[in-house]
A = this chain, B = another copy of it.
Amino acid sequence: MPDIVQKRQRLEAIRELLSSSLVSSQDELRRKLRRRGIHVTQATLSRDMHELQLLKGPGGYSLPNGNGNGAARSGNGAAVVDDDAPPSVAEMIDSFGMRAQQALNQVVVHTVMGGAQPLAAALDYEKWPEVVGTIAGDDTVLIICPDQRRAGEVESRIRTMLES
């Protein structure tokens, strides 16, 4: 197996993993990659991550652009799972969500630093019918709905999750 191909795919996989889940250490990343059939050592990952110019913050690694990074992880009870199962929106909101507010046909959800990207990924994954699309920054997710009514529904559903 040609090394160079392996590498390209691996970097791709790393980017993908990072955009949809929080990774706190290179070893954790190594285990997640292994489940995808990619088997490398921490040393290699260290080099990969340098190459990808990743940032590391209190909450784990993140892509250089505007992706997630940040705080909070400690015992909040939820989502402490060893994970790798596609994370659910409920879990994400429970773990990272801070507040949600509707604005016309959109809903803005504020999260802890670094929570926006995973939350958006979870929303995308669950494909809510009222959601047309999402955009995530570091700590803010913009959810776009077809109309004001649907946005209202989404807002209240998220608020419920926040309160629980």
Q: Please report A residues at the B interface, Cβ cutoff 8 Å.
A: 50, 53-58, 64-66, 69-71, 101, 103-106, 108, 110, 113, 116-117, 120, 132-138, 140, 142, 144-148
Alpha-carbon separation in the docked complex, A154 to B144 (Å): 17
Distance, CA A69 to CA B50, complexed state (A): 12
Picked from B53, B105, B146, the residue with its CB within 8 Å of the CB of A71 is B53
Chain B residue numbers with a CB within 8 Å of A110 are 133
Quick check: A147 and B117 within 8 Å, CB to CB? no
Given contacts A58-B53, A144-B108, contact A65 B133 (CB under 8 A): no
Contact present for B140 and A137 (CB under 8 Å): no
Find chain B residues with CB under 8 A from A117 CB. Answer: 66
List residues of chain B with CB within 8 A of the CB of A104. Answer: 104-105, 146-148
27 contacts between A and B (CB under 8 A): A53-B57, A53-B58, A53-B70, A53-B113, A55-B55, A55-B56, A55-B57, A55-B69, A56-B57, A64-B69, A65-B138, A66-B117, A66-B136, A101-B132, A101-B133, A103-B105, A103-B146, A104-B105, A104-B146, A104-B147, A108-B133, A133-B142, A135-B135, A135-B136, A135-B137, A135-B142, A136-B137
